[in-house]
């Protein structure tokens, strides 16, 4: 008997299976690589306030030095702006009958601004696994102890509106 092989047509089910496989592959790639499909990155100016820096360590900060976080081992970026101020706390002054800011002897507050290339996920900014938003603490990698490091400002890079001068008096 002479059998001619039946020509196989590309049908709807094949198409559905292909779409399914494609979706699975895209999902796997996205899961593995991160936000590859979203791929939204932008430049931010991130200002960090480092409290409780001893006088002897306050000069260790320099423009151009990298600022890194310890818990995720990410480098945020290079320091572009820097301001060292005496640490001040609000205390009640009975003489003037109001709260006043007084200097804490021997301690400094350091403001540093770094330019960061961040990715955007669910409306938030990240460098690797490090979340960048104001009112969050960072565990900075510094060669000396400090009390606390907090992000005080995260802004899209705009020369006139960002940096220390925009967030400190």
Partner 1 sequence: MKKKTANLIDILLIFILLLTVAVTVYRSVSIKQLPDTVKNQKIEYTLLIENLDTAFADSIHIGDKLYLSDNAIFCGEVTSMQKSFVRKNVVSNAQIHSHIYPAACDITLKVRLSADISENGFYVGDNTYLNIGKRAELYTSDMAFEALLTAVEHKEG
Residues at the site binding partner 1, with contacts judged by CB under 8 A? 13, 16-17, 20, 49, 89-90, 92, 94, 97-99, 101, 120, 122-125, 131, 133-136, 150, 152-155, 166-168
Nearer Cβ to partner 1 (19/36): 19
Nearer Cβ to partner 1 (66/124): 124
- Residue 113 and residue 118: Cα distance in Å, rounded? 14
For residue 77, give the nearest of 127, 137, 150, 134 by alpha carbon.
127
For residue 149, give the nearest of 25, 15, 47 by alpha carbon.
47
Residue owning tokens 């990715």: 119
Q: How far is the CB of 134 from partner 1 (least distance, A)?
A: 4
Q: How far is the CB of 8 from partner 1 (least distance, A)?
A: 14
Nearer Cβ to partner 1 (49/68): 49
Q: How far is the CB of 43 from partner 1 (least distance, A)?
A: 14
b/e sequence 56-88, b meaning 16+ C-beta within 10 Å: ebbeebeeeeebbbeeeebebbebbbebeeebe
Nearer Cβ to partner 1 (39/89): 89
């Amino acid at each position: 008997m002479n059998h001619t092989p039946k020509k196989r047509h590309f049908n709807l089910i094949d198409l559905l299976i292909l779409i399914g496989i494609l979706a699975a592959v895209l999902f796997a790639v996205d899961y593995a690589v991160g936000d590859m499909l979203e791929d939204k990155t932008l430049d931010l100016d991130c200002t960090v306030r480092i409290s409780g820096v001893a006088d002897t360590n306050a000069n260790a900060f320099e423009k151009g030095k990298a600022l890194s976080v310890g818990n995720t081992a990410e480098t945020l970026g290079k320091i572009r702006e820097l301001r060292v101020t005496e640490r001040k706390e609000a205390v009640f002054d009975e003489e003037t009958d109001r709260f006043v800011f007084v200097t804490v002897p021997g301690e400094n507050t350091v403001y540093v601004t770094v330019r960061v290339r961040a990715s955007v996920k669910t409306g938030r900014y990240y460098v690797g696994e490090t979340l960048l938003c104001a009112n969050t603490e960072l565990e900075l990698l510094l060669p000396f102890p400090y009390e606390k490091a907090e992000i005080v400002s995260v802004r899209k890079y705009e020369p006139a509106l960002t940096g220390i001068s925009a967030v400190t008096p």
